[in-house]
């Protein structure tokens, strides 16, 4: 049995915490919102995961130091915009060499760092942290299905293969198969940029375009992602795997997808803020969009779908006009 802290009580963190607890791990959940924890402890439910019951063995605390103390693994499951501040607060509570896994998907707009790189930066800035062990867990996964023990495949990525294998061993169970990869940046890039492409697919659906447009956006969106990744030093094969094409497919085709839902609402005429309000949960594609655009410019990579989505989200380009601009681009070989 491993002692595990899950930082963040959103749907994904809660689904993973439940899964780990069901399979014999000692799990403690932390949230910056004590009322979330009080509700889950009392009801053993999560409001956005209907039908899921949390095991009685799970623990809850609003005390970050207590959550982090003496853990074999600490899971960062807060939204991407809160990863840095959570890492900053947690760093003094963590021993040097603590194994950490990030499950949030995003790129920090100001620094253009992935979430695991943000955590490493905050650990490095805290005295006594000379050895960082930060992995990323990413792939085609919806919390709603993991919470119901449906078959799921995912990737644990770390610079050190041994750390990826340690995460693999802890998370693997009969319903949850974990692969390993040492291309951590590529795995995380796929998890962040696919949310932007899902917005584009949702916009096309909102405009009542069909499966042809959906397939084209998924395929060409993955090409944009792979071009950017290779320019950033990632492995091309990563973007053909679970954390690349796999994650892109599930996010662009499932009605569990917040990004797809938000895109559909914008395709029907809502603003980005209105779509966020209607979805009622974090829409990571909107958060990742400015950083993805900046990376494309920095690495001189052409990403027309990302650029079109940016125009729609920023309100400078109507959705139908954005599609027309993509269709009228100069012809090139695939």
CATH of the domain at 39: 3.40.50.720
Average pLDDT over residues 133-150: 96
For residues 300 and 162, state if they share a domain: no
Q: What is the mean pLDDT of the chain?
A: 94
pLDDT tens sequence across 1-55: 899 999 999 999 999 999 999 999 999 999 999 999 999 999 999 999 998 999 9
Mean pLDDT of 160-185: 97
Tell me what pLDDT residue 63 has. Answer: 96
Please tell me whether residue 57 adopts helix, strand or coil conformation. Answer: coil
pLDDT score recorded for residue 31:
96
Domain count, the chain: 2
State residue 163's pLDDT score: 97
Does 239 score more than 70 pLDDT?
Answer: yes
Q: Which pLDDT value is given to residue 25?
A: 97
Percent of the chain beyond pLDDT 70? 98
Q: Are residues 155 and 108 in the same domain?
A: yes
* Under 8 Å between Cβ of 51 and 61: no
Of 162, 182, 202, which residue constitutes the final position of a domain? 182
- 18 and 139 assigned to the same domain: yes
Residue 274 has pLDDT above 60, yes or no: yes
What was the pLDDT predicted at 178? 98
What pLDDT is attached to residue 218?
A: 95
Three-class secondary structure of residue 98 per DSSP: coil
- The percent helix, strand, coil of the chain (3-state, each to 5) is 55, 15, 35
324 — pLDDT class (breaks 50, 70, 90):
confident
- Give tens-digit pLDDT for 285-294: 898 999 999 9
The DSSP code sequence of 178-234 is EEEES-HHHHHHHHHHHHHHHHHHHHHHHTT--HHHHHHHHHHHHHHHHHHHHHTT-
Q: Do 98 and 231 fall into the same domain? A: no
pLDDT-based confidence at 284, cuts 50/70/90? Answer: confident
DSSP characters for 301-326? ---HHHHHHHHHHTTSS-HHHHHHHH
Across the range 225-232, mean pLDDT stands at 96
Residue 333: pLDDT band by 50, 70, 90 thresholds?
A: low
User: Apex CA 81: angle with CA 175 and CA 217, to 5°?
Assistant: 65
Whether residues 24 and 173 share a domain: the answer is: yes
Predicted pLDDT of residue 331? 57
- Are 176 and 265 in the same domain? no
Tell me which residue range forms the domain holding 218.
189-327
Q: Is residue 333 part of a domain?
A: no
According to the model, what pLDDT value does residue 330 have? 61
**pLDDT surpasses 80 at 327:** no
Starting at the edge strand that comes first in sequence, how are the strands of the sheet with 26-30 ordered? 59-61, 26-30, 3-7, 73-76, 99-102, 133-138, 152-157, 176-181
Q: How far, in whole angstroms, is CA 298 from its chain's centroid?
A: 22
pLDDT at 144: 93
Residues 9, 28 within the same domain: yes
Determine the average pLDDT of the residues in 245-274: 92
Distance CA(41)–CA(56), nearest Å, equals 9
Same domain for 105 and 240, yes or no, is: no
Domain end position, chosen among 149, 182, 215: 182
Is 124 in the same domain as 209?
no
**57: buried, middle or exposed (CB in 10 Å: 19+, 13-18, 0-12)?**
exposed
Position 4 scores a pLDDT of: 98
pLDDT tens-digit series, residues 69-120:
999 999 999 999 999 999 999 999 999 999 999 999 999 999 999 999 999 9
Read off the CATH number of the domain in which 316 is found.
1.10.1040.10
Out of 182, 197, 217, pick the residue that ends a domain. Answer: 182
Distance CA 171, CA 165 (A): 10
Beta bridge mates, 73:
4
Report, as residue numbers or ranges, the catalytic residues.
194
Could you tell me if residue 334 is inside a domain? no
Mark whether 199 and 279 lie in a shared domain. yes
Which one is predicted more confidently, 334 or 180?
180
Q: Give the residue, 223 or 324, on which the prediction is more confident.
A: 223
């Amino acid at each position: 049995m491993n002692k595990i802290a899950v930082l963040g009580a959103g749907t994904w963190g809660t689904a993973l915490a439940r899964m780990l607890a069901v399979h014999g791990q000692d799990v403690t959940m932390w949230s910056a919102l004590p009322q979330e924890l009080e509700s889950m402890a009392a009801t053993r439910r999560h409001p956005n995961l209907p039908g899921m019951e949390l095991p009685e063995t799970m623990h809850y605390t609003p005390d970050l130091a207590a959550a982090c103390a003496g853990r074999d693994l600490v899971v960062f499951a807060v939204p991407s915009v809160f990863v840095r501040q959570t890492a900053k607060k947690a760093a003094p509570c963590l021993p040097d060499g603590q194994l950490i896994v990030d499950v949030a998907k995003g790129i920090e707009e100001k620094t253009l760092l992935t979430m695991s790189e943000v955590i490493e930066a905050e650990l490095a800035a805290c005295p006594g942290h000379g050895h960082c062990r930060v992995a990323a867990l990413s792939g085609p996964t919806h919390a709603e299905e993991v919470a119901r023990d449906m078959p799921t495949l995912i990737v644990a990525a770390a610079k050190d293969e041994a750390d990826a294998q340690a995460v693999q061993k802890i998370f693997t169970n009969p319903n949850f198969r974990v692969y390993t990869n040492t291309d951590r940046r590529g795995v995380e890039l796929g998890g962040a940029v696919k949310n932007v492409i899902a917005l584009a697919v949702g916009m096309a659906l909102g405009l009542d375009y069909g499966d042809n447009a959906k397939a084209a956006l998924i395929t060409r969106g993955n090409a944009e992602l792979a071009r950017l990744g290779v320019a950033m030093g990632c492995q091309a094969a990563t973007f053909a795997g679970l954390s690349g094409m796999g994650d892109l497919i599930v996010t662009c085709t499932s009605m569990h997808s917040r990004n797809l839902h938000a895109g559909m609402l914008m395709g029907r005429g809502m603003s980005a803020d209105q779509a966020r309000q209607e979805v009622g949960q974090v829409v990571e594609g909107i958060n990742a969009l400015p950083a993805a655009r900046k990376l494309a410019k920095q690495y001189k990579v052409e990403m027309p779908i990302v650029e079109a989505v940016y125009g729609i989200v920023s309100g400078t380009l109507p959705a139908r006009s954005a599609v027309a601009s993509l269709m009228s681009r100069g012809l090139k070989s695939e």
